[in-house]
Amino acid sequence: MEVKIVISGILLALGCFLMVVAAVGLVRFPDFYSRIHPAGKCDTLGQSFVLLGLVVHTGFSLVSVKLLIIMAFIYLANPMATHFIAKAAYRTSLEPWEKARPGVLLEEQRESGEESGDDIPLADKINIRGIKDHA
Amino acid sequence: MMFKLAAVAIILASVLVLYRAIAGPLVYDRILAVNIVGTKTVILLVLIGFIYERPFFSDIALIYALINFIAALAFLKYSENGRLDM
């Protein structure tokens, strides 16, 4: 009885941690293509950990079978959905983000003919958004 | 108590994802964020069923998972083609 509650609590905590990590990654990453990475992986693993914790807490019954069905479906459907979103973005020729290195011009600077002088601090050369507005 | 803490953590995570859904520069960022919020909603429905000791909320969660997947595909199709019937 006690062991079951402890195991399900550990699984729930692990799943919630992974879901919060996925949310932070979705907010913090600089590019659309890099944002797919936490959305497809951390979120899928987080939901499966939470549902496994609930299955361990319930024991073997009809409810736990339903939870396992939900887990299997999300495990298949969530990476598939992120794959389709990435494919749709790639078809509209969305360019990947590149981090500026010192001495290497960004694409906008190359187009506008601007020289990368050494008086520009490094933080201004780093392309924060890196993607063009497709609207 | 355990389920309530997990539900609070998941609500906090989905608030963070909602920031990306509002401020996302592209339409694909918004679709991705809505998809992730939907996944978190499925987990939240199951947890609510366990908090109020009605575990048959998992039926609603199963239906919501199906609808969420179809909705993501429909949004993508609409944003790519401008219509749904092709």
Domain boundaries, chain A: 2-96, 98-130
Does the CB of B12 have a partner CB in chain A at under 8 Å? yes
- Verify whether the Cβ–Cβ distance B19 to A27 is below 8 Å: yes
Length of chain B, in residues:
86
Note whether ipTM > 0.85 here.
yes
Q: Are B33 and A26 in contact (CB under 8 A)?
A: yes
The nearest alpha carbon in chain B to A47 belongs to: B43
Helices B57-81 and A62-91: angle between axes, nearest 10 degrees: 10
Determine the pLDDT at residue A110: 62
Q: What is the mean pLDDT of residues B9-30?
A: 89
Among A12, A17, A24, select the one facing B16 at the smallest CB separation: A24
The nearest alpha carbon in chain B to A50 belongs to: B43
Determine the pLDDT at residue A124: 47
Q: Are A39 and A77 in contact (CB under 8 A)?
A: no
The nearest alpha carbon in chain B to A71 belongs to: B62
Does the CB of A73 have a partner CB in chain B at under 8 Å? yes
- Verify whether the Cβ–Cβ distance A8 to B2 is below 8 Å: yes
pLDDT at A95 over 70: yes
- The pLDDT mean for chain B works out to 89
Beta strands (DSSP E) in A17-118 are: none
Q: Are B47 and B3 in contact (CB under 8 A)?
A: yes
